[in-house]
Chains A and B, each alone.
Chain A
Amino acid sequence: MKFFASLVDRLMATTKTNEKIGALEEYFHNASDRDKVWVIALFTGRRPKRTISSTLLRVWCAEYCQLPLWLVEECYHTVGDLSETIALLIDAYYTPDTHPADHSLTHYIEAFHQVEKATEAERKQVMLQGWKELQTVTERFIFNKLLSGSFRIGVSQQLMVKALAKVTQLEPAVIAHRISGKWDPGKITFDELLNDAGSLADDSRPYPFYLAYPLEAEPESLGSIEDWQAEWKWDGIRGQLIKRNNEFFVWSRGEELMTDKFPEYDPICKLLPDGTVLDGEIIVANGNEPLPFSLMQKRIGRKNLSNKIMQEAPVSFFAYDLLELNFEDYRSRPLAERRLALEQVVKLVNHEKLQLSSVVTCATWQELRELREESRQHYAEGFMLKRKDSVYQTGRKRGDWWKWKLDPMTIDCVMIYAQKGSGRRSNLYTDYTFAVRDGDSLVPFAKAYSGLTDKEFAQVDAFVKRNAIEKFGPVRTVKPDLVFELAFEGIAESNRHKSGVAVRFPRIKRWRHDKKPDEINTLDDLRQLLELYGTN
């Protein structure tokens, strides 16, 4: 564990990409084969199956430190990360009564795996053993993290790809593809994962998504509209449909395998030619007619897909790109060519669940601009602009693809609750609940935690610390004094909130120092927006 811990320490000790890549490179040159595979897995969000609940961790930690459980909870709210909280507490109350050990990373992962069906006492034994035999806060932090969540230590997928490309001397795009998809870090070797043989073995592997930046300038700056393809920007889940060797996979952009979540797509699979990968939007729709996104949220939240929810929230796949055909990688062909091939595939399949995301043709940018105002009627967020001769790139890139979104809706509201954030916002009140006025009362309608500068967050934090009304647990009720303009993309009816509405992607647009709490918007204003743009 020491070797991996020193990598984690080095990664956290720098903010510079090159130093991080250097640290990873050195690690991959020297670490054991099995540990290396686990590190790739852990840093790309593939954690081992959880075998000990966080509740038990808290209880055992409190017991070991002889602290009341509520105090452990308070620490957690301040630190914002349970693994770190426990590592700090164990470190503070540790009495050296166990022989220090330096087992491998894989050793601990396997130890957790082995207690999956063990008794609580046996699981506790594994936990205490680790806490005691490991020696530093970092080692214990990693140990806890193996159970409780993903490592957020500033290593992005992209960074990992760059480091592995250096180690293996392969192209970054090749690496990105090979480490994506479904593979079992407990079974695959480093070479199998990264060399050719391994990539052939896995038919499920998706391509890294090409992502667009928002267009901040006017579209005229992009040159002639003739060179661009415009499509509605759908409000769904970006996904890839993959059929290889008659097996079918649905991936989300978050690299989550979601095949089971969308059984409606199974018929598409039968009709698709073998060796095909489509990029598109998983979208709640009746055939080619999109429905409100709020239905998708309802559906995604369910553990079991009932017939009822599948009827209420049916899904289609709006395809907009073709990445592989006849097992051939199409990504380096120009969009215009990919589009033609895509149109043929969709036609061939000819199933209502597979729709072609239509191209919107306008003679001028101005015409398109006017059409964009109607986005909400189409359940779209604006347009995607793609250069017709663009290749399908890897990750978020500027230049060839842009999202040109509609301006968000906005509401002035007042902050009424605050909660401390996590990660780099640890011990800072950065998660807020906002309310609008309804007569004499304030009605909460949205939570947001982005949009302010670090300095503004510090100011709000200081305000919360001085004006908190209730003091225990994570949430503080604060004096309704600070007014913010909140921006959001959509609005729908909801019975989850007191206000009866739910807004989509709420974020703070600006702090309205110029407004007083009695000048904020009302519940009626929200209802009016709901009537105008409501999607449910």
Chain B
Amino acid sequence: MSGEASKVIDQTTLWEGGRSPFSVSYGKMMMWFFLISDALSFGGLLASLGFMKLKYADVWPSSELIFTHLPGTHGHFPLIYVALMTFILIVSSVTMVLAVEAGHRMDRKGVTLWLALTVVGGLFFVGSQAWEWMTYIAGPDGDISTWADNATLSGHYYGEGFSADNPVPGVPQYAQFFFFVTGFHGTHVFSGVVINFIILLNVLKGKYEKVGHYEMVEKVGLYWHFVDLVWVFVFTFYYLI
């Protein structure tokens, strides 16, 4: 690729030439620092999820028996909705990387289009998550106003239809981790959408045209891809395993 990083620079200039030995700008390096610390938070969360799963291995419910709903239907569709959410996030990650690529060509129209699509994809994801939370809280009767009567939140019975005759044993930690992990991730998605939107406004105003490069799109792109990356892990370790 044509970025600065792939250029050949001789060692003496690199390490003693008064420039970054990593050949990246200050802002980009600080974004990576932030992402490492954020990745450690998510890593800690998912590792503790694994801890609970192994400790309660005999009673931990399986997610494909719980997340079986699709909007507008009453059928049994295990994991399909989550797969759809994953797909939406992957696609919005792709539009983001296309926006970065357009930025490298100083193609303002391209950046605007792809960044706008990224914002739309992010909003779709946050909306899907709201629906999933609602369905989960509403429980077996699907009525959110009577949520207090279902066992979902107390966490002792799970399973198809959540009925007491056909229970899958559960532990409260299942719901606690569901809300904490997906909630923490959802907050990241939401703030990512807001940040992308602000950068989109700057692109429309022509700010980066004036500066001479679209590196800011690259930096928010790093954050957005990170959010996608985290979801890949949440999807596997919460829903699949």
A and B interact: no
A binding-site residues for B, Cβ under 8 Å: none
